[in-house]
């Protein structure tokens, strides 16, 4: 069975500082990996995903994540955050060639001015 661990429930950071949100997974088979962002009282929006190919994937708003198979990690990074990045971030994994997602418990990113 697969599982996802997001060790940091909250990450406070000042505007324009770099940030890393950690995600580790466990699985006995190949996986797809996802980061979703949830703004208050809204559904989840896909931020970025890794299905195959380059292990470094990027989003349109400056986030990136790198799939590290040996460390079973998919950490999310941004070199300089904005106030508007304040949200809940969920890491998720699915078994290769399936749709079913297993979510982590989420990390609350709070950006302060």
Partner 1 sequence: GAVVSQHPSRVICKSGTSVKIECRSLDFQATTMFWYRQFPKKSLMLMATSNEGSKATYEQGVEKDKFLINHASLTLSTLTVTSAHPEDSSFYICSASGGGFTQYFGPGTRLTVL
| Contact with partner 1 (CB under 8 A) among 47, 89, 104, 109 | 104
The smaller minimum CB distance to partner 1, of residues 16 and 58, is found at 58
CA-CA-CA-CA torsion for 58, 35, 31, 51, nearest 10 degrees? Answer: -30
Distance CA 55, CA 68 (A): 7
In the shown chain, the binding pattern of residues 21 to 60 toward partner 1, with x for contact by CB under 8 A and - for none, equals -----------x-x-x----xxxxxx--x-x---------
Quick one: how far is CA 10 from the chain centroid?
A: 13
Distance CA 45, CA 43 (A): 7
Binding site for partner 1 (CB under 8 A): 32, 34, 36, 41-46, 49, 51, 90, 94, 97-101, 103-106
């Amino acid at each position: 069975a697969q599982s996802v661990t997001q060790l940091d429930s909250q990450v406070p950071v000042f505007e324009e500082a770099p940030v890393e949100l950690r995600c580790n997974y466990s699985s006995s088979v190949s996986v797809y990996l996802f980061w979703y962002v949830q703004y208050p009282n809204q559904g989840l929006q896909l931020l970025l995903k890794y299905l195959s190919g380059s292990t470094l994937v990027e989003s349109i708003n400056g986030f990136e994540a790198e799939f590290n198979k040996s460390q079973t990690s998919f950490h999310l990074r941004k070199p300089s955050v904005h106030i508007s990045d304040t949200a809940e971030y969920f890491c998720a994994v699915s078994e290769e060639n399936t749709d079913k997602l297993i979510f982590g418990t989420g990390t609350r990113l709070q950006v302060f001015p």
